[in-house]
Amino acid sequence: MFQIGLVDILFALGITPDGIVGHSVGELGCAYADGCFTAEQMILAAHARGKASIETDTIDGKMAAIGLGYKQMKDMLADYPTIEIACHNASDSCTLSGPSADVEALVESLVAQGIFARAVNVANIAYHSRYIAPAAPRLLQYLKKVIPSPKPRSSKWISSSILEDAWGSPLAQTSSAEYHTNNLLSSVFFEEASAHIPANAICIEIAPHGLLQAILKRSLAEKEVVNIPLTLRGVKDGVKFILNSIGKLYLNGLDLNLAPLYPEVQYPVSRGTKPLGHFVDWEHGHEYKLSELEVQIKSYPADEEFAGLFHEVYKTNVNRHTLRGYVLTPDTSAQDETENLEQVE
């Protein structure tokens, strides 16, 4: 799966998470990132989830994204008893699940009231509701074969399928077949889980595209969290995008090991290896006269801070050092001022 590759890249770069949270089936990715699943188990678990869903005879269902939080939405569902709140996404976002006709009617009503509402393509399956419950026995059977020896979930993994007051329950302790079957049936408590993301954190979205970016940016804005997706829908060059995201991680203070991104260099290199020296050459299109060095420096506005510092050095130290009529910078002075320049931000 796509998420496996992204997790592997982050680990190869030396990035280890302080916290992990998933949305819906994204908890399979949590299991892999937490070391509870192998890559094979994650793929087979995802396959089992899809297989159980399509093999089970369920109602013609539909899901819909709503621009209201679940607390606001639950009071509005009094006239729609067949519809359930499937996902608590954020304080201003939730996802509904239920019979197709009823969900469509509610979406139409909400849009007429000026509330954002849009149907979600879920292959006519009402996930995270009572309507998917018939698939549970089959999914549990499949997952028990995939996960014969469940591993404990670490404290880094913040559950979004079990509310915090039940994190001490036996069900929440391991990445078991029972845990991931419950994930299919339970509401997604992402709003509650993401509340545990601390202020000033770096939040990396690992997904086929940055689906949660809008939700994350709004809900975590007050905490000044830096949100960095590794992928984004509509991007033409995915490799360039992820490399750019890696650059953002570095700029935000992460110490990265970039060596794994490139083929390992074997020394000594073969005699046929092309030299790189020709890529470095002096620009001969300009004349550089020693007597005009001060004027040339001042001619570049972007280097005013450098020019100001060098100007003082030039006046105080360099003017006294001449050779054959030319003013030259002494080697010791150049070394001293190089150290000074390194302090300029």
How many angstroms separate the CA atoms of 82 and 68, rounded?
19
- CA–CA dist 304, 320 (Å, integer): 24
- SS3 for 87? strand
Domains of the chain are 1-57+128-252 (3.40.366.10), 59-124 (3.30.70.250)
Cα–Cα distance between 150 and 193 in angstroms, integer? Answer: 22
Task: Note whether 225 and 203 are within 8 A (CB).
Answer: yes
**What's the full length of the chain, in residues?**
345
Beta strands 61-66 and 322-323: pairing type? unpaired
Task: State the angle between helix axes of 2-12 and 39-55 in degrees (0 to 180), rounded to the nearest 10.
Answer: 160
Token match 């399509």: residue? 54
- The H-assigned helical ranges of 252-279 are none
Q: Give CA separation, 10 vs 6, 16, 183, 204, in Å.
A: 6, 7, 25, 10
Query: What whole-number distance in Å separates Cα of residue 28 and Cα of residue 64?
Result: 23
How far, in Å, CA of 228 to CA of 211, rounded?
Answer: 12
Per-residue pLDDT tens digits of the chain, which is 345 residues long: 689 999 999 999 999 999 999 999 999 999 999 999 999 999 999 999 999 999 999 999 999 999 999 999 999 999 999 999 999 999 999 999 999 999 999 999 999 999 999 999 899 999 999 999 999 999 999 999 999 999 999 999 999 999 999 999 999 999 999 999 999 999 999 999 999 999 999 999 999 888 999 999 999 999 999 999 999 988 999 999 999 999 999 999 999 999 998 888 888 888 888 887 777 777 777 776 654 445 454 554 545 555 555 555 555 555 666 666 666 666 666 666 566 555 554
Q: How far apart are CA 246 and CA 261, in angstroms?
A: 11
Phi (first) and psi of residue 138, to 5 degrees? -70, -45
Global pTM reads: 0.77
Question: What phi, psi does 86 have (nearest 5°)?
Answer: -85, -35
Token pair 């009503």 in the structure block, residue: 109
Q: Are 84 and 61 in contact (CB under 8 A)?
A: no
| Residue closest to 93 by CA, chosen among 85, 82, 101 | 85
Distance, in Å, from the CA atom of 311 to the CA atom of 50, rounded to the nearest integer, reads 70
Residue whose token pair is 């804005």: 221
Query: Which residue is it, tokens 């992402």?
Result: 190
